[in-house]
Homo-oligomer: A and B are copies of this chain.
Amino acid sequence: MLEKVIPTKIYLQESELPKSWYNINAVMKDKHAPALNPITKKPVTFEELSQILCDELAKQELNMTDEYIPIPEEVQEFYKMVRPSPLTRAYFLEKVLDTPAEIYYKFEGNNTSGSHKLNSAIAQAYYAKKQGLTSLTTETGAGQWGTALSMACAFYGLDLTVYMVKSSAEQKPFRKAIIETYGGKVIPSPSNTTKVGREILEAFPNTGGSLGCAVSEATEKALNTPNCRYVLGSVQDHVILHQSIIGLETKVALDKYGIEPDMFISCVGGGSNFGGFIAPFVKDKIEGKAKYKIIGVEPASCPSMTRGKYAYDFGDTGKITPLLKMCTLGSGFMPSTNHAGGLRYHGMNPIVSKLYHDGYIDAVAVEQTKVFEAAVMFAKSEGILPAPESSHTIREVVDQALKCKETGEKKTIVFCLTGTGFFDLAAYSAYNNNTMSDYIPTDAELQKGFDTLPKID
């Protein structure tokens, strides 16, 4: 039955919460190309993958057939503590923009990790515990994932080592503090705790590190530690599977109130929130039944979709991880140091990449100062200080809403507000003080990244 009065914030009842995750791979007509063993160049097997990942996660990563995958009851209980997230009508933003557009946002930042990352972190820690593992390793850039996983590991009593991109660890002492409060051990990367870290330090003694390098260190550390696995917060299909909780809740809320979106918008870095947010809306898109648009928003400074190649590439600088067919700038691409927040990974999740390549979804790139302009407008009107990542989305939403103002169209826009900016106030200060700059890589600069692509295809 359709509910009549739509509240400003839609909170689902507990009985309406999803009991299964949604696996986009099952409904892809053309599946994305398989991950390859970086040495043999053959599709990775479960046996190979489970040396790095937990068994259940390796299984999920390779699952191309089951549309719904049950959420373990213990994870459902945890979700009840930190979820559902509200779907909020942005009445005040609409008013400030004076737009006929109707804007809704699914806010994933109302948990201590400050972002959607907790949705997957708790699932991954659960599977690790169930497998009898005692410790995990991971990497973190902006720090959202490291915080989320540290919370999840504290909950299940697992040891955690977080390789945190060195420049980020230095700029964000409080990110480090919160990870440590939850018991995680933070190691600025590159470090001398791994072979790959020592090699990078020798070649580039003053480097601030990169996500690709931190991935290499975390992977190496996991491989050399008993009862330990590497877990990661984006890029992989199983992460998108867990993040589908975002889209599934959104769909229940939209259907309950008969809201029919014209577009879904969210930011893309490795693709985790975006893939999860759009998950239940992809099938209709593939089958040509949907009239809505799906738009991914990326930073102009790290444009893996709008300006990347669709090719096999390494996930890490050290070239240890499986090769993925994806939109990529090359594992040697280094994002500009003036770039704030996350969304700085060279590649893109294979599902999202394939959907983009096949024309089912769109992508746009936005510039940093315009992103923060939208962020501050949103903060003042909607009362939430958005994360820089989420603010990319807001920029595009604002632009779409302003287009509606010009044309008079009353479009319905639904976006995912992935997180809060509590740990990004140095970037906000830079914006406030007019010391923030933009950066768009030249074609020549991008070419240097492309030159690091392996020759597979």
Contacts and interface: CB of A to CB of B under 8 A. Distances in A.
Q: Is the interface of A mostly helix, strand, loop or mixed?
A: helix
Interface residues of A, number: 48
A373 interface: no
Given A376-B181, A426-B177, A80 B7 contact: yes
A380 B183 contact: yes
Contacts of A78: 383
Interface stretch (A9-17, A43-51, A134-142, A193-201): A9-17
Nearest to A432: B180
Given A9-B81, A81-B92, A383 B429 contact: no
Contacts of A173: 425, 429
Contacts of A428: 177-178, 181
A223 interface: no
A430 to B, nearest CB: 10
Interface string A132-152: 000000000000000000010
16 contacts: A5-B14, A5-B15, A8-B81, A9-B14, A11-B11, A78-B383, A110-B110, A114-B422, A151-B383, A173-B429, A177-B426, A178-B385, A178-B428, A180-B429, A181-B428, A182-B380
A98 to B, nearest CB: 15
Contacts of A154: 379-380
Nearest to A86: B11
Interface string A385-419: 10000000000000000000000000000000000
Given A91-B81, A425-B174, A181 B112 contact: no
A155 interface: yes
A148 to B, nearest CB: 10
Given A7-B13, A174-B425, A383 B155 contact: yes
A37 interface: no
Contact of A382 (B8, B81, B379, B426): B81
A373 to B, nearest CB: 12
A173 B173 CA distance: 12
A82 interface: yes
A222 B374 CA distance: 32
A78 B384 CA distance: 12
Nearest to A174: B425
Interface string A59-92: 0000000000000000001101110000010011
A111 interface: yes
Nearest to A175: B425
**3 nearest CB pairs, A to B:** A177-B425, A174-B425, A7-B14
Nearest to A114: B422
Contacts of A181: 376, 379, 385, 425, 428-429, 432
A193 to B, nearest CB: 21
A112 B385 contact: yes
Contacts of A80: 7-9
A381 B77 CA distance: 12
Interface in A6-49: 7-9, 11, 13-15
B81 A112 contact: no
B380 A155 contact: yes
A324 to B, nearest CB: 31
Nearest to A13: B7
Contacts of A11: 11
A273 interface: no
A115 interface: no
A6 to B, nearest CB: 9
A420 interface: yes
Contact of A112 (B88, B383, B426, B432): B383
A428 B112 CA distance: 14
A333 to B, nearest CB: 30
Interface in A156-177: 173-174, 177
A391 to B, nearest CB: 12
